[in-house]
Amino acid sequence: MTPSPHIPLKYQERSLPEMRARAGAFYTLMNARRSVRSFSDRPVPGDLIEKAILTAGTAPSGAHRQPWRFVAVSDPDIKRQVRIAAEAEEYESYHGRMPPEWLEALAPLGTDWHKPFLETAPWLVVCFAETHGHDSDGRKRKNYYVQESCGIACGLFIAALHNIGLVTLTHTPSPMRFLNGILGRPQHERPFVLFPVGYPAASAAVPDIHRKELEEISAWH
């Protein structure tokens, strides 16, 4: 296999003071991000969601297979179907499927099986992970590092939304295969994360939780 042609890297070198200023500003921006479970029903223009998805699509991926598909839903009927199906699964999870240790871990977050945000938020965006692709003859084509690639893409999606000024929640109703049926996606696309996206409710409150210190999340040699 011949390597694809390469082109010069577009790299913008910055002075150290500029790098420090940008490092600090980006950390300050991202450190203000919170997961939000209480949404306003105020509409959000679709072009903002498009830009966030495009940003997610800049993620690196195994063999550049880009094994993700972001499905954006604003249709109220489809959102209702998603809520009903997700709440049915969550009900089972909270009433027996999740072991006591897990329920204890979640207690500080105050979550339960009710998921009104699945209808209130103006957008639901589901990231599907493509377990494999297809070549031009329709034969299976392997994807690589699908979990890692989709995890990074979702991280960029969350950062893009926060930078835009919207809020979201990393929601993983379990199991979430029901999303294939409701959203008409083929079986080789596996629901990865469901993001409600919008403005926060005026009354939105978040748990008083804290981030680990640098010493706790890093080691230096």
Q: Binding of ligand IYR at residue 111 (CB under 6 A)?
A: yes
The verdict on 109 binding ligand IYR (CB under 6 A) reads yes
Q: How far is the CB of 180 from ligand IYR (least distance, A)?
A: 18
Check residue 58 for interaction with ligand IYR (CB under 6 A): no
Question: Which residue has 């009104």 as its token pair?
Answer: 116
User: What is the rounded distance in angstroms from the CA atom of residue 122 to the CA atom of residue 40?
Assistant: 8
Take residue 104 and report the two structure tokens written for it.
């204890």
Q: Which stretch binds ligand IYR (CB under 6 A): 75-83, 170-178, 186-194, 206-214?
A: 170-178
Tokens coding 187: 């079986």
Given candidates 55, 171, 189, 191, which one binds ligand IYR under the rule CB under 6 A? 171
**3-class DSSP state of 95:** helix
Which is it for the CA torsion 34, 198, 77, 190, positive or negative?
A: negative
Per-residue DSSP letters for 36-77? Answer: ---B------HHHHHHHHHHHTTS--BTT---EEEEEE--HH
Smaller CB distance to ligand IYR: residue 90 or 189? 90
Nearer to ligand IYR, 74 or 111 (CB): 111
Q: Is 191 in the site for ligand IYR (CB under 6 A)?
A: no
Minimal distance, residue 173 CB to ligand IYR, in Å = 5
CB of 129 to ligand IYR, least distance (A): 17
Q: Is residue 175 reached through a cis peptide bond, with omega within 30 degrees of 0 on the bond before it?
A: yes
Pick the binder of ligand IYR from 76, 172, 175, 186 (CB under 6 A): 172
146 exposure class (CB count in 10 Å sphere: 0-12, 13-18, 19+): buried
Q: Does 174 participate in binding ligand IYR (rule CB under 6 A)?
A: yes
CB of residue 199 to ligand IYR, shortest distance in Å: 20
Q: How far is the CB of 109 from ligand IYR (least distance, A)?
A: 6
Query: Quick check: 146 and 67 in contact, CB under 8 A?
Result: yes
Residues that bind ligand IYR (CB under 6 A): 90, 106, 109, 111, 171-174
